[in-house]
A and B are shown apart, each in its own frame.
Chain A
Amino acid sequence: AQSVTQPDIHITVSEGASLELRCNYSYGATPYLFWYVQSPGQGLQLLLKYFSGDTLVQGIKGFEAEFKRSQSSFNLRKPSVHWSDAAEYFCAVGAGAGGGADGLTFGKGTHLIIQP
């Protein structure tokens, strides 16, 4: 069965500092990997996704993520965070672009706090 682990429940970063959110996955086949952001009162917004090809993927809002098959990881990074980046971040894995027949499996999320 597929699973996603986000080891950090909370992360606090100063505004302007760099950010890395960790994600490890377990999946029996080639994974489709996603990072979503969830803000209060808003739906999940897709930041970026990885299907194949270049293992460093660029997303919206200045985020990027690197797929490392040997480490089963898909960590999210941003060189300089803004106060508006404070939110909940979810890593997810699926069998296809739309999640495949089984939908998406999500990690428990990382709550990002931005210090002024």
Chain B
Amino acid sequence: GAVVSQHPSWVICKSGTSVKIECRSLDFQATTMFWYRQFPKQSLMLMATSNEGSKATYEQGVEKDKFLINHASLTLSTLTVTSAHPEDSSFYICSASLSRAYEQYFGPGTRLTVT
């Protein structure tokens, strides 16, 4: 089956710094990638949708200047959390699909802790 990886799986950063999370589709080309955020004991909330070569579409309430998404190739999307604060601590999950018409495959997630 389709495999999606995320790196790193766990990251700790200091408040005010930026951190980049990578999402890769390992065995297929993903024209569409989604980024979700999951708080402890909570559901996954869609943050943004990105299409290869296009600007990401952000959900209402998600700061696009804080959560920078780049989908530069058909196998890689990155999420950069800029000027991170403790309230940004969360579990970030990406998913990838051939297109919006096809099933999403989820990465294992990245645990971000901001101190």
Would B101 and A96 count as touching, CB distance under 8 A? yes
Does B43 reach chain A (CB closer than 8 Å)? yes
CA distance A108 to B40 in the complex (A): 10
Would B101 and A43 count as touching, CB distance under 8 A? no
Does B32 reach chain A (CB closer than 8 Å)? yes
Q: How many residues of B contact A (CB 8 A)?
A: 27
Q: Which of A42, A45, A96, A106 contacts B44 (CB 8 A)?
A: A106
Would A43 and B46 count as touching, CB distance under 8 A? no
Does B100 reach chain A (CB closer than 8 Å)? yes
CA distance A102 to B46 in the complex (A): 8
Inter-chain CB contacts under 8 Å: number: 65
Would B34 and A43 count as touching, CB distance under 8 A? no
Q: In whole Å, how far is B95's beta carbon from the nearest beta carbon of chain A? A: 8
Interface string of B38-55 (1 = CB under 8 A from A): 000111111001000000
Q: Which of A4, A44, A100, A101 has the most CB of B within 10 A?
A: A44
Would B100 and A96 count as touching, CB distance under 8 A? yes
Would A90 and B32 count as touching, CB distance under 8 A? no
Would A98 and B106 count as touching, CB distance under 8 A? no
Chain A contacts with B in 56-110, Cβ cutoff 8 A: 90, 96-109
> In chain A, what residue has the closest Cβ to B44?
A106
Would A100 and B106 count as touching, CB distance under 8 A? no
Would A103 and B49 count as touching, CB distance under 8 A? yes
Q: Which of B44, B45, B106 has the most CB of A within 10 A?
A: B44
Does A46 reach chain B (CB closer than 8 Å)? yes
> In chain B, what residue has the closest Cβ to A99?
B104
Would B93 and A98 count as touching, CB distance under 8 A? no
Q: Which of B41, B97, B108 contacts A42 (CB 8 A)?
A: B108
Residues on A with beta carbons closer than 8 Å to the beta carbon of B43:
4, 90, 106-109
CA distance A44 to B44 in the complex (A): 11
> In chain A, what residue has the closest Cβ to B4?
A43
Across the A-B interface, the 10 shortest Cβ-Cβ residue pairs: A44-B106, A43-B106, A103-B46, A98-B97, A43-B108, A106-B43, A108-B43, A98-B100, A106-B44, A98-B102
